[in-house]
């Protein structure tokens, strides 16, 4: 596809895919709520001995905005620290990456991080992927106006389970862009499996540019995930409203309390929602009594030593790495080649 204004019609078609993929997945049965698959996944998690819900359900339109607000918090260092690394080492990164890549943004959100890369690396195509499809579409519409010469496509899909890309995504010089340390939501083994799937979507000219949060003082970590304003609490609690919508559940948000704390033994932040008192929850296809203090595990955010981060990428089949960190060694941005 030629760039410039010719990219607008294909963009609109991708938007149609966005809705289809986000609401139901291709060919999946739908109910008045979310997809049958999503309801089954949510129900299984809520019914388990240790209740859990995937962190991907944190991101409805409001959840995406609350996450943006988290990124503004002084206590939430990852966004700021990563941005400082990009600002300091952008030229070196651009040198390693080269021009005319197919920039594939995993969890694009408001697309701001990719937009800051555009003037440095001049990608040939920008493919923004996010589970929060409506939010993504609005973000990309604005971005296409600012950069009319870059061919853009939006894909509303849950890339955690499958990274199958449509044929509209160029095969040449694919650069998987995975900033923000979202890799931390996976266990280390899941992270290797996921990165392997990204590696498999690359030709020998492909690469990965990834942000990984590093192990640090636990007081810094605790403050970042349980901020005094309660923005992270609102972000976590909003999951319950999203579940009410997706699975026809009857969570009363006021009956739950946010917990966000570093588990040093597991090298991860854990977020939970804890029942303030004994209560019962119903959802489409299930019901459960929660004791006072019983919790739903909603997120892990793994922190790595930089040697372990490099090891993870090597295990996934990437090589020739460049690692950039901030002066405090709080966060790492790594460029790794598929070779
Ligand atoms: C988007 C997964 C990188 O783990 O820091 C922020 C999500 N959760 N505050 C993170 C999050 C609570 C964030 N990631």
Helical residues (DSSP H) of 110-187, grouped into ranges: 112-121, 133-146
Q: Whose CA is nearest to atom 1 of ligand 1?
A: 182
Atom of ligand 1 nearest to the CA of 181: 3
Q: Kindly state the average pLDDT of the residues 321-334.
A: 98
Q: Pull the structure tokens for residue 271.
A: 């977020």
For residue 8, being part of any structural domain is answered with no
Structural domain count of the chain? 2
Q: Are residues 236 and 333 in the same domain?
A: no
Q: Same domain, yes or no, for 177 and 256?
A: no
- pLDDT tens, position by position, 15-57: 333 333 333 333 446 566 778 999 999 999 999 999 999 999 9
Report yes or no on 19 lying in a domain. no
- For ligand 1, mutation pick of 271, 299, 330, 332 (most atoms within 8 Å of CB): 299
Atom of ligand 1 nearest to the CA of 180: 3
CB 150 within 8 A of CB 142: no
The share of the chain scoring above pLDDT 70, in percent, equals 91
Contact 138, 109 (CB under 8 A): no
Shared domain for 59 and 109, answered yes or no, is no
Task: Name the residue range of residue 327's domain.
Answer: 77-215+304-338
252 touches 282 (CB < 8 A): no
Q: Render pLDDT for 262-286 as a digit per residue (tens, 0 to 9).
A: 999 999 999 999 999 999 999 999 9
Residue 79 is predicted with a pLDDT of 97
Shared-domain flag, residues 126 and 274? no
Q: How many helices (H) and strands (E) does the chain have?
A: 10, 12
Q: Which of 105, 108, 122, 136 is nearest to 14 (CA)?
A: 136
3 has pLDDT over 90: no
Whether 194 and 263 map to the same domain: the answer is no
Residue nearest to atom 3 of ligand 1 (CA): 182
Segments in 163-204 forming alpha helices (H): 188-200
User: Same domain, yes or no, for 177 and 312?
Assistant: yes
* pLDDT given at position 134: 87
Is residue 318's pLDDT more than 90? yes
- Provide the pLDDT confidence category of residue 150 given band limits of 50, 70 and 90: very high
CATH code, 176 = 3.40.50.150
The dihedral formed by the CA atoms of 194, 115, 92 and 130, expressed in degrees to the nearest 10: 0
Ligand 1 pocket, Cβ-based, cut-off 6 angstroms = 70, 78, 180-182, 184-185, 225, 232, 299, 301
pLDDT of residue 168: 95
Same domain, 291 and 261: yes
Mean pLDDT of 77-101: 98
How many A from CA of 232 to the centre of ligand 1?
Answer: 9
Q: Quote the pLDDT of residue 320.
A: 85
Is 189 found in the same domain as 88?
A: yes
């Amino acid at each position: 596809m030629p760039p410039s204004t010719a990219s607008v019609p294909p963009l609109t078609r991708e938007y149609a895919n966005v809705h289809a993929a986000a609401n139901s997945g291709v060919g999946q049965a739908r109910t008045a709520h979310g997809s049958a698959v999503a309801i089954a996944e949510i129900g299984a998690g809520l019914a388990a001995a240790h209740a859990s819900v995937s962190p991907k359900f944190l991101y409805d339109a409001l959840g995406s905005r609350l996450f943006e607000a988290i990124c503004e918090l002084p206590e939430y260092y990852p966004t700021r620290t990563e941005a400082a690394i990009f600002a300091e080492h952008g030229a070196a990164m651009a040198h390693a990456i080269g021009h005319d890549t197919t920039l594939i943004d995993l969890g694009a959100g408001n697309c701001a991080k990719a937009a800051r890369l555009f003037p440095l690396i001049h990608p040939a195509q920008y493919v923004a992927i996010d589970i929060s499809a409506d939010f993504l579409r609005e973000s990309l519409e604005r971005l296409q106006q600012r950069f009319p010469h870059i061919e853009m496509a939006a894909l509303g899909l849950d890339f955690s389970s499958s990274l199958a890309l449509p044929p509209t995504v160029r095969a040449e010089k694919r650069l998987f862009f995975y900033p923000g340390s979202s890799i931390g939501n996976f266990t280390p083994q899941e992270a290797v499996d996921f990165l392997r799937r990204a590696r498999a979507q690359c030709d020998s000219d492909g690469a990965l540019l990834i942000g990984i949060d590093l192990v640090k003082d636990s007081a810094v970590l605790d403050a970042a995930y349980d901020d005094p304003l309660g923005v992270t609490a609102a972000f976590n609690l909003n999951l319950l409203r999203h579940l009410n919508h997706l699975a026809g559940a009857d969570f009363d948000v006021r009956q739950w309390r946010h917990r966000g704390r570093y588990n040093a033994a597991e090298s991860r932040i854990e977020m939970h929602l804890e029942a303030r008192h004994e209560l019962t929850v119903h959802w489409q296809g299930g019901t459960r009594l929660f004791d006072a203090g019983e919790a739903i595990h909603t997120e892990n955010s793994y922190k790595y030593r930089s040697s372990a981060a490099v090891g993870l990428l090597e295990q996934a089949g990437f090589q020739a790495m460049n690692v950039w960190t901030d002066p405090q060694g709080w966060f790492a941005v790594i460029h790794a080649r598929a070779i």
